[in-house]
Amino acid sequence: MNAKQPKLISGNSNKELASAVARRMSFHRGEKVQLCNARVERFNDAEIFVEVFENVRGEDMFIIQSTSNPANDNLMELLIISDALRRSSAARITAVIPYFGYARQDRRTKARTPISAKLVANLITEAGIERVLTMDLHAAQIQGFFDIPVDNLYAAPVFALDIQHHFKNLSEITVVSPDVGGVGRARELAERIGADLAIVDKRRAAPGEIAAMTVIGEVKDRSCIIVDDICDTAGTLCKAADLLKETGAKEVHAYISHGVLSGPAVERISKSAMKSLVITDSIQPTAAILDTPNIRIIPTAPMFAQAIQNIANGTSVSSLFDRSSLAPIYEAAYPAA
C-alpha cells in the first residue's frame, strides 16, 4: 500500500488508553507505532501550551483525548493540539474522543439555559477538526450538532462478549434499564445475548431527589444486569441495585460505558448490593477505582485502534457493531468468543 499510515497524538486526559491504542496499531501494522512526540504543558498561570516535535505536514492525524474531568482543561488541550496540527499543515485531523464531555447538556431543560453540547461541537469544528470518533454518546442527536462526520461506536457489542464469557447460564439473565430513557440501550444488549428486559421506573419529587422507584418486569431469582452509558455519583445506580435485590433478584451486576465515578461514587459502589460493576477505560480510572474489588474495567483500545485503521483506509466503521467483526479483535480477552 502506498497510502500513508495514520499518526497518533495524545493529550493528558487518558495517556494509558492512547498508549494502548498505539500498541494495538503496532499489532495491525506489524511494525512499532508510537504516539507522536509532543509536549502538552501548562504555564504557571495554567495556560495550556502545545509543541509538536515531529513533522506532520500532509499526515493523517488522530488526536486521542477524552474530555473528562477536568473537562474544561481537557477540552482546551484538544482544541489547542488541533490548532497546532492545522498550522503545521496536517492533511486531516480526526478527534478520537472516547468520552464526550458536556454530552448531558444536549437540550434546554428550562428557560435561560445553554445547549453546551452544541457549543462544544462548534468549538471542535472551528478548531480545524474534520472528523470525530467517539463512543456511546449520551444522546444520539448530538451527532447532528456537528457539521463534520461523526462515528459513534457502541460498547454494547463488547459488553455482550464479556457477558457471554463470564456468565454460564444466559437464560437466567435479565437486562435492566435504570430509567425509561435508557430502554433502547438496554434492549439492544438484551437482544444481543438473548435475555429478558426489565425497567426501573423512577419518579422525582424535585431535581436530584428520587421520590419512588418501581421495577417493571420479572426479576425474581434472576441475575440482573443494569446497563447505562454514564455513572457519575452512582446514587441512582446503587438505589436501583438495592431495589432489584429487594424485589427478589438473585444477584445484581452493572455494565456502564463511561465510569465518571465522581464524589462518593466509588465508596457507594464498594458498599452496594452490586456484585460487580463493569466499566470501560474511556475515562482513565483513578487509583481508588483500580483498588475496588467489585469494579472491573474492559479495554476499548482494540476497538478504537481498528476504527482508526478503518477510517484511515476509507473502510467501514459500522462493521465494528457486528459480533463477527468484533470477536476476532477481542480474541485474546475472550478466546471462546
- Measured CA to CA, the distance from residue 260 to residue 233 in angstroms comes to 8
Is residue 142 a contact partner of residue 106, using CB atoms and an 8 Å limit? yes
Distance between start and end Cα atoms, the chain: 31
| Annotated binding-site positions for ATP | 45-47, 104-105
- Measured CA to CA, the distance from residue 84 to residue 80 in angstroms comes to 6
- Measured CA to CA, the distance from residue 15 to residue 98 in angstroms comes to 12
Is residue 195 a contact partner of residue 177, using CB atoms and an 8 Å limit? no
Q: Which residue has the cell 423512577?
A: 202
Is residue 245 a contact partner of residue 274, using CB atoms and an 8 Å limit? no
Alpha helix (H) residue ranges in the chain: 15-29, 71-87, 116-126, 156-166, 183-193, 235-246, 265-270, 287-290, 301-313, 323-329
In Å, what is the CA distance from 64 to each residue of 7, 150, 282? 11, 15, 10
- Among the listed residues 15, 32, 168, 202, the single catalytic one is 202
Which residues contact residue 87 at a Cβ distance below 8 angstroms, ignoring those fewer than 6 apart? Answer: none
| Annotated binding-site positions | 45-47, 104-105, 138, 179, 204, 228, 232-236
| Annotated binding-site positions for D-ribose 5-phosphate | 204, 228, 232-236
Burial-class residue 152 by CB neighbours within 10 Å (0-12, 13-18, 19+): middle
Other CB atoms within a 10 A radius of the CB of residue 121 amount to: 22
| Annotated binding-site positions for Mg(2+) | 138, 179
Is residue 169 a contact partner of residue 193, using CB atoms and an 8 Å limit? no
Catalytic annotation on 202? yes
Q: Which residues pair with 228 in a beta bridge?
A: 256
Q: Catalytic amino acids?
A: 202
